[in-house]
Amino acid sequence: MATTLATPTSSSDAVHKPIQNVLITCAMTAEALPMVESLGLQPDEQFASPAPCFSWSGQHFGMQIHIVQNGKDREHSVDNVGTVPAALSTYLACQRFQPDLIISVGTAGGFQSQGAAIGDVFLGTTTVNHDRRIPIPGFDKYGVGAHTAVPTTHLQKALGLKAGMVSSGNSLDYTEQDMTFMSSNKVAVKEMEAAAVAWVAAMFKAPMFSLKSITDIVDGGRPPQEEFLENLQRAATALQEAILPVLKFVSGKTAAEL
């Protein structure tokens, strides 16, 4: 069944406020570090101890820019991917930095049925969860957790980016029920964090959108882990190339002008 109800992440006042303070959220080191280096950001000391996430900050395009990354799992020494670390790091970063705009940046799977190809960069229009199935009235809509991103029509046109619905889950693969949900809702991008970032953005009434680069084709027939590993560097490079023009476009505008 297709979902139709989506909660805006931001208040009407927030979208008319000049954007001077931008928070970029990332799950993986390979996604964050190239952007940190290209923006010349510096690490923030004692960002959120004992939480594993960490951040970098600096000035660019006349704005304060912050990148927060979920950090490493202490037991397994891998990046903290998924909705739980994303919600934690985004919440802590919002408390500390009070951003005017939040951008959930990362790599993702894409649907060729929605026009996705390896290396494409998508702007998210809505975020949902595809694996929170709670078939009880009220809880069913909560499980989907749909949030409408701040519209980015002008940004999409100016930079020639694709756009579509972003769906989050906590597995790299998917079940038959996951695929039924994603297909019926015409999901364009499948990943593991954006819905959690949107949920926190809504708490803080902060405008938010996603910027996702495609590593694997969900409906292409190949195991996602193979394509992900093959194309991670290519997708991370595409993100690095996209983020500077995105920030330049955002500078001097309100969220309502995006």
Residues forming the active site: 31, 216
CA distances from 104 to 81, 171, 175 (A): 13, 18, 25
Return the half-sphere exposure (C-beta side, CA atoms, 13 A cut-off) of residue 99.
Answer: 30
Contact of 131 with 170, CB cutoff 8 Å:
yes
Cross-strand partners of 213: 107, 121
CA atoms of 203 and 198, how far apart (whole Å): 9
Tokens of 73: 């799992």
Burial (CB < 10 A; 0-12, 13-18, 19+), residue 51, is: middle
Strand pairing report for 208-217 and 101-110: parallel
CA atoms of 241 and 238, how far apart (whole Å): 5
CB atoms within 10 A of CB 121: 21
Sequence-ordered list of residues with C-beta below 8 angstroms from that of 154, at least 6 positions apart, any chain: 249, 257, 258
